[in-house]
Amino acid sequence: MRLAIREGGAIGTALGFFLVVVSLMPLGLGPDLNLLARIAAGILWIALLLAALLSLNRIFEADYEDGTLDVLATGPLPLELVTVAKSLAHWITTGIPLAIMAPVLGILLNLDLAAYPVLVATTLLGTPAVSFLGAIGAALTMKTRRGGLLLAVIVLPLYVPTLIFGISAVAAGAGPSGFGASFLILAAISLTTIVLGPLAAAAALKVQLQ
Amino acid sequence: MQTLTQRLANPTRFMELSARLLPWISAASAILLAYGLYLAFIDSPADYQQGETVRIMYIHVPCAWLSMMVYGVIAVSSFGLLVFRHPLADVSAKAAAPLGAAFTFLALLTGSLWGKPMWGTYWVWDARLTSVLILFFLYLGLIALRSALEDEGAAAKLTAILALVGVTILPIIKFSVDWWNTLHQPSTDFTSTVDPSMRLPLLVMAAAFTLLFFAMHLKAMRNEILRRRVKALRTQAVAGRDRLAAHATTQGAAE
């Protein structure tokens, strides 16, 4: 985990990608600030998902290539816990930086200032689901060559609930009602994926390592 | 006492049984399809509101039903593969995935053609449409994952895991998309709210499509089993030739 931070490359790339995608949006949609403010949450969430997706395939691949994964699999720790650790590491090194970066990019999109705390809260709450669901996809596509594209096809449909409730939580939070039900549902999705995601990912890893 | 699924675990027995069943299912499907099409296009009345376009429904609704049922078949097969290691489960899951994708695509296509005159647009981001579209993406993901992996045994298990992940997440996707937006007409509760003059053709078509799926599914499974046998024979033949060649060279060296 610390190694990932020291290497730095992936996080920097993900953050840079996030920045570039978000700043491309006004170029494509026109610089109308009112329009941008209205769709800012959606743009931020989609760009965040894409940025996280970029770094997903490195969750297991590097460890598989240098044999660490084989050692971990034969070690005393159950593979489920290993995947929990790997997914958590991905969340800490990618999810949290992206979530912190989101409000900064929100300024570019003229996002309402009142929505900032909500935006940070929802992205922080939603990104664990992104990491843990992504770990399943990463484990499934570990050995394939065009893994990145395949990973996107497999994982992006699974992100639909996270995206929908992430955005509706921002929308609800910006209104007078404060944190809405969607915020709680987003939390529920994250918690469920934290519990069930590693089981599926570990099952896939076991097949891969046979 | 063996159950039916246990007895079917022997591929040879499955081939025998399916060879006997297949003509009957195919014939029944063809007859029902012909009758259903006659009812749907000639014998049933045009809708007072939708006019002739209502006839699209007789194809659209069975396809949509099947798109979900086929995913159920894949899920059960995947479960059977991972838990009971049933040898035919993977064959079934593999054969069903492209069929399911095709029916899902047909449901989307016919729905879209119906939507143009009725809703005034080919596509809307409505809850039903979106969730069926995502179901279609899941099918594509299953097919893509399987084709990307070279080792067939690993591909089978990994695809099964993905199918089961899809099953757990489909209700959430459905629910979240429902929350998000809704325009599609609500379910008819198994046609209980449909007028009898239209219910009969619809049910006949649904039965015909289901039988059609089972016929194609059995056929695809038989093809897959035969393909695997040919492959096994080929590897055996190559291995045998190699052994002969190795034998010849050692003999040649000895002489």
pLDDT digits (tens, 9 = 90+) for A116-169: 777 777 888 888 888 888 888 888 887 776 667 788 888 888 888 788 777 777
Up-side HSE of residue A98: CA atoms within 13 Å toward CB? 38
- Report the DSSP beta bridge partners of residue B51: B47
Higher pLDDT, A104 or B46: A104
Inter-chain touch B140–A146, beta carbons under 8 Å: no
What tens digit of pLDDT does each residue of B195-238 get? 666 677 778 788 888 888 888 888 888 888 888 888 888 888 88
What tens digit of pLDDT does each residue of B7-20 get? 666 777 777 777 77
Residues B32 and B211: beta-carbon distance below 8 Å:
yes
A162 burial level (CB within 10 Å; 0-12, 13-18, 19+): buried
Residue at B29: amino acid letter: S
Q: How confident is the model at residue B1 (pLDDT cuts 50, 70, 90)?
A: very low
- Report the DSSP beta bridge partners of residue B69: none
Task: Write down the pLDDT at residue B161.
Answer: 82
Q: Which residues are within 8 A (CB) of B95 and not within 5 positions of it... i.e. 6 or more apart?
A: B217, B220, B221, B223, B224
Does position B250 have pLDDT exceeding 70, yes or no?
Answer: no
Does position B101 have pLDDT exceeding 80, yes or no?
Answer: yes
Please state the domain extents for chain A.
2-209
Residues of A in contact with B145 (CB under 8 A): 140-141, 144, 150, 154
Q: What share of chain B is helix, strand, coil (3-state, %, to 5)?
A: 85, 0, 15
Cα separation of A133 and A135, whole Å? 5
Flag the least confident range among A47-51, B97-101, B185-189, B200-204: B185-189
> Angle, nearest 10°, between helix axes A160-174 and A116-140?
180
Q: How confident is the model at residue B50 (pLDDT cuts 50, 70, 90)?
A: low
The DSSP element (H or E) to which B129 belongs, if any, is: helix B127-148
Q: What is the mean pLDDT of residues B140-162?
A: 80
Task: Write down the pLDDT at residue B234.
Answer: 85
Q: Which residues are within 8 A (CB) of B1 and not within 5 positions of it... i.e. 6 or more apart?
A: none
Among the partner-chain residues A146, A160, A189, the one whose CB lies closest to the CB of B134 is A160
Inter-chain touch A153–B177, beta carbons under 8 Å: no
Does position B103 have pLDDT exceeding 70, yes or no?
Answer: yes
Q: How confident is the model at residue B49 (pLDDT cuts 50, 70, 90)?
A: low
pLDDT averaged per 10 residues in sequence order, chain A, 210 residues: 51 77 78 74 82 77 72 73 80 80 77 74 81 82 73 82 78 59 77 81 77
Residues B213 and B99: beta-carbon distance below 8 Å:
yes
Mean pLDDT of chain A: 76
Q: Which residues are within 8 A (CB) of A84 and not within 5 positions of it... i.e. 6 or more apart?
A: A194, A198
Higher pLDDT, B25 or B6: B25
Task: Write down the pLDDT at residue B252.
Answer: 62
Cα separation of A107 and A95, whole Å? 20
Task: Write down the pLDDT at residue B180.
Answer: 61
* Distance, C-alpha A22 to centroid of its chain: 16
Q: What is the 3-state secondary structure (H, E, C) of B1-12?
A: CCCHHHHCCCHH
Q: Is residue B177 within 8 angstroms of chain A, CB to CB?
A: yes
- Of A85, A167, A86, A178, nearest to A126 by C-alpha is A167
The radius of gyration of chain A from alpha carbons, rounded to an integer in Å, stands at 17
Residues B47 and B117: beta-carbon distance below 8 Å:
no
- Of A140, A160, A136, nearest to A49 by C-alpha is A160
Q: What is the mean pLDDT of residues B117-140?
A: 76
- What phi, psi does B51 have (nearest 5°)? 70, -145
The string over A43-77, giving b where at least 16 C-beta atoms fall within 10 Å of a residue's C-beta and e elsewhere, is bbbbbbbebbbbbbbbbbbebbeeeebeebbeeee
Q: Is B137 helix (H, G, I), strand (E, B) or coil?
A: helix
For an interface test with B, give the residue of A133, A140, A163 to mutate (most B CBs within 10 A).
A140
Inter-chain touch B154–A208, beta carbons under 8 Å: yes
Residues B212 and B68: beta-carbon distance below 8 Å:
no
Task: Write down the pLDDT at residue A138.
Answer: 82
DSSP codes of every residue in B162-198: HHHHHHHHHHHHHHHHHHH---SPPP-TTTTTS-HHH
CATH of B23-186+193-217, one of 1.20.120, 3.30.429, 1.10.10, 3.40.1620: 1.20.120
Residues of A in contact with B149 (CB under 8 A): 143-144
Higher pLDDT, B43 or A128: A128
Higher pLDDT, B49 or B87: B87
Mean pLDDT of chain B: 76
Q: Is A168 helix (H, G, I), strand (E, B) or coil?
A: helix
